[in-house]
Amino acid sequence: MENSEIFSSLKVFILFKLYKQLKMKKIKNSSFVIILIIIIIVILFFINQNNEKQIEDTEIIKYNENQVILGKPRIILDVPKDAIPPLDSPKYVKASEVDFVVGGDLVIGVNINNDARAYPIKILNWHEIVNDIIGGQEVVVTYCPLCKSAILFSRILDGKTLSFGNTGSLYESTLLMYDRETESFWGQIGGRAIEGELKGKRLEMLPSTTTRWKDWRKMYPDTLVLSLDTGYTRNYDSNPYLTYYLDKDSLPRFPISLIDKRLPPKELIIGVIFNDVKKAYPIDKLGWKVINDHVGNEDIVVFTRSKLTSVFFAEFDDEVLEFELVDKTIIDKNTKSEWNFFGQAINGSLKGKSLKPAPSIYAFWFGWVVEYPDTELYIE
């Protein structure tokens, strides 16, 4: 058994035994109870010290006066490996058969080669990783509840297919995955191997969108939806992270190496990377908006509404389209065609055409900026 499993099991065992003794009223002396609790706190403190591993060879650089370095990046051993179980043989149901997702529920939407899939956040809260094949492509759908980061990656690296599990640890207070082929550790936000044989490698990020179920279903009525039949017993209607989300000005639950005061730590952003240029858009603040932008020599357009965002390449048929919002209707100035939130022309001369989705990361600001401290920030 690995050290992380021993420590986690010991924590659970100690707390369970105390609870059992109290429930059975075998401990009647209140002074003894207080002393016992203090002893447990001290034990857990030292266990947690052993559950941290500092990454010494990572240099932390400040890129602006708003950034504060808090220390070296650390891996926090939290629960045993795959205690938050990934899904390796996901089952799906047709949209018409879905009764466990309601209109406003968030899903990660993916459409590859006309194979549309919806992954409800209420399920991913309990699994975080789905190894899958969509439209013939081997991919991994990832979600970290602690930083609300929803990212789709290709599982193909250097011509080989990887499959991913959950280390049970956290890196910069975000999901830390491992690949089963080499046991290398992968930070989710950057898709970057931080330890192991593949250290320094990055996974290819693919387009996905975090949106409301009712919007995704309207656009893709034949979509398949990740089933509750996961092989595990979980209360998928409960969200254990709700209280954590309430105070967006507070620091994340686990240690991070850097903060950037340009935004509150738990401000939602959408992040893009093109030709090593990174840029974040604070979607909490934007409301309904169309942003025409140029990032890393790529012309893109960002559509935002009600804390949801989609990103597309603005070039279409060798012409860069410029978009505007007219009474909450998206119009391109070039042809006056009308477009929807999913980059599809629904009226005008381009009706039936679609923009090419651009890879993006939906996440809390702290998770994005600790991985990409040199990021630009969109300001209105």
Residues 269, 26: Cα–Cα separation, whole Å: 51
240 or 179, which is more confident: 179
Average pLDDT over every residue of 43-57: 54
**Residue pLDDT, tens place only, 83-114:** 999 999 999 999 999 999 999 999 999 999 99
In the prediction, which pLDDT does 4 show?
A: 39
Residues 310, 343: Cα–Cα separation, whole Å: 8
The average confidence (pLDDT) of the chain is 87
**Residue pLDDT, tens place only, 236-271:** 999 989 888 888 788 888 889 999 999 999 999 999
Per-residue pLDDT band for 360 (boundaries 50, 70, 90) equals very high
56 or 34, which is more confident: 34
Crossing angle for the helix pair 30-50 and 3-23, to the nearest 10 degrees:
170
CA distances from 344 to 219, 347, 352 (A): 9, 9, 7
What percentage of the chain exceeds 70 in pLDDT?
A: 84
In the prediction, which pLDDT does 8 show?
A: 44
Give yes or no for residue 12 having a pLDDT over 60.
no
Give yes or no for residue 46 having a pLDDT over 70.
no
186 or 49, which is more confident: 186
In the prediction, which pLDDT does 47 show?
A: 47
Average pLDDT over every residue of 203-207: 97
Average pLDDT over every residue of 165-173: 94
**Residue pLDDT, tens place only, 113-130:** 999 999 999 999 999 999
In the prediction, which pLDDT does 79 show?
A: 83
In the prediction, which pLDDT does 284 show?
A: 81
Q: pTM score, two decimals?
A: 0.84
Average pLDDT over every residue of 313-327: 95
Per-residue pLDDT band for 67 (boundaries 50, 70, 90) equals confident
CA distances from 207 to 94, 270, 289, 360, 365 (A): 22, 12, 20, 6, 19
Distance of CA 82 to the CA centre of its chain: 17
Lowest mean pLDDT across 12-16, 56-60, 85-89, 107-111: 12-16
Give yes or no for residue 347 having a pLDDT over 90.
yes
What is the torsional sign of CA 239, 287, 205, 57? negative
